[in-house]
Amino acid sequence: MTNIETVSEHQDTEQAVRQLARQMAGRRLPSERDLAARLHVSRPRLRAVLADLRAEGLIEPRPGSGTYAVAPDGHSLRRVALLIDEGLKLGDDPFFSHLLECLLTALQAAGARCLIERVDGRGGPPTLEDGALTLGLAGRSLIERQRPDDPPMVGLLLPPETPPGRRASVFGLEDRAAGRAAGESLLARGCRDIVFVGRRDIPASRERWAGVAEAVMAQGARPHFRDSPLNYSAGLALGRGLPLPGGDGPLGVVAANDWLAVGLHAGLLRHESPRAHDIPLVSFDGLPLAADPALGIRSLAVPIEAIAEDAVAELRRLGRSPASVGRAVFYPLHWTP
């Protein structure tokens, strides 16, 4: 009699947990203590039920986060390769460092182990695991070389002309539109000469410059381009000796990213011409380092956290079926508050 009752009680508990897991698909289950109290069962009995469901793949533990109900159409991301262009110097670029941190956080929340690999886009096929995220321009050639039996891939911050693959999606930014917004903001402040500081050989910088130039020339003002590395030291050096074009209105400066803009601000304060000390600065990325009101930098923010979370969700979508098709997604930039 006792054995029959034990089996029946176990089945009732298992059915209740299964129903709860279906209702909470993709979300974290209550703690073991709370779940046992909710179902009015002992914790040892609950552990036995959870072990059975875990063996079936209906729930999964995520270290440091809890136990999650697996969505029935979800794709398990147990190991994900993060393929970083070897040309990216993460320690010298706060933007990419922050993006990397957000990607690692999103992968941890998904219960995925991350394998970081440096790639140049020219060698043999990299390790792909259950899926791969690429960071940097090397991602374009990796997507182009994706084989039919490779796991899904998402390339982050690639140029707008990069086509998605069969099971590879491209995430980019609306850089040209952001450049137009930057130019228009300086025109609205009466600037008739607008200097863009950046690099033509980097797609994001080139697109932002193109947008600035379009907006400025449409209003009959004068755009100027200054080639510069995209870091603080380069901005500091350029700001100290920036040539100030003559004109009939105030000068405005657009920096290709926030790190460069902070350096430019410091350099302009050391410029020999007092006119340089009040030059309005516009930038891109929306990083905290440029948010100090004392700097006077207006920045168009990249939705970094959303891109990281969406990239992991996109890997799941592409992994649900071999027939999944990649897509191109481009994110707008918005003015920081």
User: What is the reported pTM?
Assistant: 0.76
Q: Which segments of the chain does DSSP mark as H helices, in order?
A: 2-23, 32-39, 43-55, 94-109, 138-144, 175-187, 203-218, 232-240, 258-268, 304-319
259-286 tens-digit pLDDT: 999 999 999 999 988 888 889 999 999 9
123-138 tens-digit pLDDT: 655 666 788 999 998 8
Query: Residue 8 pLDDT > 60, yes or no?
Result: no
Which of 44-48, 58-62, 250-254 comes out lowest in average pLDDT?
58-62
**What pLDDT score does 130 carry?**
83
237-256 tens-digit pLDDT: 999 999 887 655 689 999 99
The residue with tokens 């009939």 is 248
Query: Residue 99 pLDDT > 70, yes or no?
Result: yes
**What pLDDT score does 127 carry?**
66
77-89 tens-digit pLDDT: 788 999 999 888 7
**What pLDDT score does 300 carry?**
98
Q: Using CB atoms within 10 A of its CB, is residue 45 exposed (0-12), middle (13-18) or buried (19+)?
A: middle
State the architecture of 2-69 in CATH terms.
Answer: Orthogonal Bundle (1.10)
SS3 157: coil
Supply the angle between the helices 203-218 and 175-187 in degrees, to the nearest 10.
40
State the architecture of 176-301 in CATH terms.
Answer: 3-Layer(aba) Sandwich (3.40)
Which of 52-56, 72-76, 162-166, 167-171 comes out lowest in average pLDDT?
72-76
> β-pairing, 297-301 with 328-331?
unpaired
- Please provide the DSSP assignment of 193-223 as one string: EEEEEE-TTSHHHHHHHHHHHHHHHHTT-EE
Fold classified for 79-174+315-332? Rossmann fold (3.40.50)
Tokens coding 83: 């393929």
**What pLDDT score does 113 carry?**
86
**What pLDDT score does 78 carry?**
80
**What pLDDT score does 56 carry?**
66
Percent of the chain scored above 70 by pLDDT? 91
Query: Residue 3 pLDDT > 60, yes or no?
Result: no
161-215 tens-digit pLDDT: 999 988 999 999 999 999 999 999 999 999 999 999 999 999 999 999 999 999 9
Percent of the chain scored above 90 by pLDDT? 52
Is the pLDDT higher at 131 or at 74?
131
- How many angstroms separate the Cα of 96 from the Cα of each of 79, 227, 242, 318? 22, 21, 27, 25
Q: What residues does CATH 3.40.50.2300 cover in the chain?
A: 79-174+315-332, 176-301
Query: Residue 2 pLDDT > 50, yes or no?
Result: no
Distance, in Å, from the CA atom of 233 to the CA atom of 53, rounded to the nearest integer, reads 56
**What pLDDT score does 9 carry?**
60
159-168: Cβ within 8 A, 24+ apart: 159/203, 159/207, 160/203, 160/207, 160/330, 162/328, 163/328, 164/325, 164/326, 164/327, 164/328, 165/326, 166/325, 166/326, 167/318, 167/322, 167/324, 167/325, 167/326, 168/143, 168/318, 168/326
Q: What residues does CATH 1.10.10.10 cover in the chain?
A: 2-69
Tokens coding 251: 């000068």
